[in-house]
Amino acid sequence: MTEMLGNDYSPRRLLEDIYSNPEEVLASEAIWFCAWCYRCHDRCPQALDLPEIFLFMRSAAAKRGRMQGFDKALQKIVKNVPLPLVTTVVCFHPERASLKTDEILDRIEQMREEQVKSKKKEKSGKFSKEKIAVIGSGPAGLTAAYELGKKGYDVTVFEALSEAGGMLRKGIPEKRLPKQVVAKEIQFIKDLDVEIKTGIKIGKDLHFENLKKEGFKAVFIGAGAHKSHQLKIEGSELKGVTYALDFLWDANTGKKVDVGKNVVVIGGGNVAVDAARTTRCLGANEVTILYRRSKDEMPANLREVQEAEHEGVKIEFLVSPKRVLGESGKVSGIECVRMQLGEPDETGRKKASPVEGSDFKRETDMVILAIGESPDLGFLPKGIELNEDGTLWVNPITLETSMPGVFGGGDAVSGPASVIEAIRDGKRAAEAIENYVKS
């Protein structure tokens, strides 16, 4: 957040201010900038739950009518953060402080319109018409397109899906991010004369090598992490077994989705939690997440996990699937084994290993697999280097890949991460692209 909002938000300093001068904090914009990433919590030796402390102060400010800080926060978000509607809904969660989201979104749109009017007066009319290609219309790609489009570059976004938005539309449930909010952000970017072409899969409908031939001076790769990790266990081919991203995409695009009455979700990340919550919304009677490690190792956002549990989602820790059971080609149950934790592995999390003789079976009529996602970068030429985990290698400063003029960001580089991190990458890449084109 400090990369986009300056030094206005520092969790450590904010915590100190809460204890030394709480009344001043209530009027400050700083308490409204926590984006619920829980990194401060993860790195705190005392394991203080700082996001919840900041939420308490937000709620106290709202109850007392001390909203001047919130209005200042919105102004800074609109000024500095592309996709301010999406960011406010997905990252800042004003509703958790009992504020009305619709009213806040209306206020953001009003602020943005005022900003556009003032910018129009400042325009000199001298714009570059260099062509820039953006692959992927997720938060990173949309941000790069927005930043370059407002500076007058001729930007074309290529999206493989039938609708723009990337993981904003594909992976985040309607309940957490209304699709009309995504549509408004996309329309705002289109109004900057950014062209967004959907249903264009690079490598199939248009070869990557042809982008430069078509006059694009630079390329930004924001293709996201849409490839589900496969779970190679017996029974994974049975009817009733599905991958979480496929399930969420169908649910988010309005397709009729039949959910089981007793659903098991395998995984511990945000996608697993979103899939579990969505099945509850679609009528599942019982939904259980099975995760092979403990709650402390669970990578999903803690607040989202709490809200899922409040909605009736059950979570069983230290459990791993062994095989999916079936009858007449359909899922009827799942066989699992209890796990135990040992020493930390290369990721820093404690390694999970099976407990001998702890196998057990449970009934289920639907299994959703959410054991991880990675980028699908098979469309890239061999001259572009990848990391060992299949993500895109980029210069950490410029975000330029091993091929000059080609840049990358978001989940394609980091693996699955937060919306705000993808937006940050899009902003940084846009600046680097502009420097490259001008050089």
- pLDDT per residue over 301-311, tens digit each? 999 999 999 99
Answer yes or no: is pLDDT of 337 > 60: yes
Mean pLDDT over 173-182 rounds to: 94
Same domain, 368 and 306: yes
Mean pLDDT over 352-366 rounds to: 96
Tokens found for residue 168: 């904003």
Q: What is the pLDDT, as a whole number, of residue 348?
A: 77
Select from 348, 372, 396 the last residue of a domain: 372
Same domain, 84 and 130: no
Q: What is the pLDDT, as a whole number, of residue 127?
A: 57
Same domain, 250 and 356: yes
Select from 91, 120, 149 the last residue of a domain: 120
Q: What is the pLDDT, as a whole number, of residue 119?
A: 66
Please tell me the total count of domains within the chain: 3
Mean pLDDT over 70-91 rounds to: 94
Q: What is the pLDDT, as a whole number, of residue 1?
A: 60
Answer yes or no: is pLDDT of 324 > 90: yes
Mean pLDDT over 19-23 rounds to: 93
Answer yes or no: is pLDDT of 312 > 70: yes
Place of tokens 């926060």: 73
Tell me the percentage of the chain whose pLDDT exceeds 90: 86
Same domain, 67 and 149: no
Same domain, 99 and 20: yes
Q: What is the pLDDT, as a whole number, of residue 124?
A: 46
Same domain, 174 and 77: no
- Which residue has better confidence, 41 or 51? 51
pLDDT tens readout for residues 107-117? 999 999 888 87
Same domain, 358 and 394: no
Same domain, 205 and 291: no
Same domain, 247 and 361: yes
pLDDT band for position 44 (cuts 50, 70, 90): confident
Q: What is the pLDDT, as a whole number, of residue 190?
A: 96
Same domain, 181 and 136: yes
Answer yes or no: is pLDDT of 274 > 80: yes
pLDDT band for position 5 (cuts 50, 70, 90): confident
Mean pLDDT over 277-305 rounds to: 94
Average pLDDT, rounded, for the chain: 93
Structural domain range at position 269:
227-372
pLDDT band for position 128 (cuts 50, 70, 90): low
Mean pLDDT over 240-259 rounds to: 94
Mean pLDDT over 254-282 rounds to: 95
Same domain, 385 and 355: no
Mean pLDDT over 375-404 rounds to: 96
Q: What is the pLDDT, as a whole number, of residue 275?
A: 97
**CATH classification at residue 317:** 3.50.50.60
Mean pLDDT over 329-334 rounds to: 97
Select from 323, 344, 372 the last residue of a domain: 372
Mean pLDDT over 364-376 rounds to: 97
CB 215 within 8 A of CB 129: no
Same domain, 278 and 384: no
